[in-house]
Amino acid sequence: MSDSFDLGEPPQPKAEAYRVLARKYRPQTFAELIGQDAMVQTLGNAIKRDRLAHAFLMTGVRGVGKTSTARLIAKALNCIGPDGQGGPTIDPCGVCEPCRAIAEGRHIDVIEMDAASHTGVDDVREIIDAARYAAVSARFKIYIVDEVHMLSKNAFNALLKTLEEPPAHVKFLFATTEVNKVPVTVLSRCQRFDLRRIPAEKLAEHFAFVSRAEGVEAEPEALGLIARAAEGSARDGLSILDQAIAHAGQEGGGVRADAVRDMLGLSDRGATRDLFALLLAGDGAGALASLRRQYDFGVDPLSVLRGLLETVHGATLVKLGAGIDAGQSVEERDALAGWASGLSFAALHRLWQLLLKAHEEVGRAALPIEACEMALLRLVHASTLPDPGELAKMLAEGRVSMAAPAAPAAAPTLAPAAEAALPDTIAALRTYLDDNGEQALASKVYFSASVVHFAAPEVVLSSARPISADLVRDLNVELKRLTGKVWKVTTADVPGAPTLREQDDADKEKRRLEILAMPVVKAAFEAFPGAELLPDELDRIIALQRSEA
């Protein structure tokens, strides 16, 4: 009888779990940290000169490398080199035990804490108590606190003293997306690094590298779309690329631009250019048909408006002579160059404001596609009108026909200083004083003289409202001197007529309403929401109307 046993097939090694691209390609050296050259240079100089701060704060939008930078700093400070004799370096070796342990998240002296789930003072007290003890095996004991702004006020206060005077073997590394929520008392104790959004062209280059490493073919335009959608975040972009690669596996072939657009619900840039051209041409029916085609393909109206905003912005940059965007196709560059040469800065600014308002309206509309259609029609209508400044100039110069407003009151006849012809109205009196060198007294009459009775040389002014006693006295004295007759200017505590200033204000308001009621002006204000008729322009138009009357 055999003593052997059949144990069956030997156990197969378990397949390694898939790691998403955002984790797989997390930077392991400062050289792999894209878009943060200024920070890397500063840290390198600090390490070389042994001028290391005891606390660092990394701030920036999501996915730009804040936590990765904190881990790299931990490596840089604790690296001992392949031979075990190295010191702090901006280029950690990645092969020594501290480097490998930190990369794998298992180093006993590098403690990571998520402040979002450890917000209380007790959590911070544990750090304070443990910080007194020396590092077990590393050069420095390092505390990495992610989303530090989530700590409570009491937790921050408990940390302050230790943060200001930590033991020599302790370093604090904080990361946050909302630095404005971190108390100033904490900020003043840290060396702060503001991590920038990563430029789209650098993201596209990085995604191309990742695609090659993954053995996936990807169109440059597709990578450019992903880079723009990432909005400066490497992690967001890699997540989108991961999804695009999975999508490509279903469709067959590599990562294509049209597939990325469908996946993200982006507006086709070619369709956006066609729509923009229709808007500039004033073709309302064609513009709405173009919008509906994109909507039927699943493109969100807000995405269409964002595409139009990007087009206006791109044309403006080209007009300014800015550098070429590597993510743009030849067709897009040619189109932008044509619009930049044909549109003024004022027109581009007007288009931007109209589209920006449309984006705001559509974002909160109960019927988004209908609101987008109405907004585009408003823009079509605006393309045939001059801008508000040019319209006001045209009105002032008489280049636009206007309905005749109500005839203004006849200007008073100025009376000479003859004995027999005295000023017969308060307006004539004010002009008489002004013409005879009494501008200050004429100004007082204009602003505060409310007439109850006027029959020169007897004048009664209302004292029902505040009036200077000097005005009555000065009028009696100066009018006698100028006319050679004795005037009797008195007051009565009864209501009087509006002052000359109040009459002018009422007349100006009446004329303003008449101007705003003109068809061409009404059309302009409907086309340019938020526009206003400036006081200086109103005065010019009123002066023109009076000269034509």
- pLDDT of the residue at 44: 86
For the chain, percent helix, then strand, then coil, each to nearest 5?
A: 55, 10, 40
Provide the mean pLDDT of the chain: 82
Q: Round to whole Å and give the CA distance between 497 and 502.
A: 9
For 15-32, what is each residue's pLDDT tens digit?
A: 567 788 888 888 888 888
- pLDDT of the residue at 513: 84
pTM beyond 0.75: the answer is: no
Which long-range contacts link 321-328 to residues 24+ away (Cβ below 8 Å)?
325/200, 325/201, 326/201, 326/204, 326/224, 327/200, 327/201, 327/204, 327/221, 327/224, 327/227, 327/228, 328/224
Centroid of chain to Cα 313:
13
Q: How confident is the model at residue 525 (pLDDT cuts 50, 70, 90)?
A: confident
For 16-73, what is each residue's pLDDT tens digit?
A: 677 888 888 888 888 888 888 888 888 888 888 888 889 999 998 888 888 888 999 9
Q: How confident is the model at residue 374 (pLDDT cuts 50, 70, 90)?
A: very high
More confident residue, 456 or 470: 456
Does 549 have pLDDT greater than 70?
A: no
Q: Is 212 exposed, middle or buried (0-12, 13-18, 19+ CB in 10 A)?
A: exposed
Q: Buried b / exposed e across 430-448, counting CB within 10 Å, b at 16+?
A: bbbbbebebeebbebbbeb
| Residues sharing a CB contact under 8 Å with residue 249, sequence separation 6 or more, in sequence order | none
Could you tell me what percent of the chain has a pLDDT over 70?
85
| Residues sharing a CB contact under 8 Å with residue 328, sequence separation 6 or more, in sequence order | 224, 314, 336
| DSSP, res 497 | P
Could you tell me what percent of the chain has a pLDDT over 90?
15
Q: How confident is the model at residue 406 (pLDDT cuts 50, 70, 90)?
A: very low
Say if strands 110-114 and 170-176 run parallel, antiparallel, or are unpaired: unpaired
- In the chain, the domains with their CATH numbers are 21-194 (3.40.50.300), 200-264 (1.10.8.60), 269-384 (1.20.272.10), 409-517 (3.30.300)
Mean pLDDT, rounded, for 223-252: 82
Q: How confident is the model at residue 5 (pLDDT cuts 50, 70, 90)?
A: very low
- pLDDT of the residue at 403: 47
More confident residue, 399 or 194: 194
**Are the beta carbons of 311 and 267 closer than 8 angstroms?**
no
**Are the beta carbons of 77 and 30 closer than 8 angstroms?**
no
Mark out the alpha helices in 281-425 (DSSP H runs): 284-296, 301-320, 330-342, 345-363, 368-382, 388-396
Which candidate, 369, 391, 340, places its Cα nearest to that of 527?
A: 391
Mean pLDDT, rounded, for 95-124: 89
More confident residue, 365 or 544: 365
- pLDDT of the residue at 312: 92
Q: What is the DSSP string of 35-76?
A: T-HHHHHHHHHHHHTT---SEEEEE-STTSSHHHHHHHHHHH
What element of type H or E holds 114?
Answer: strand 110-114
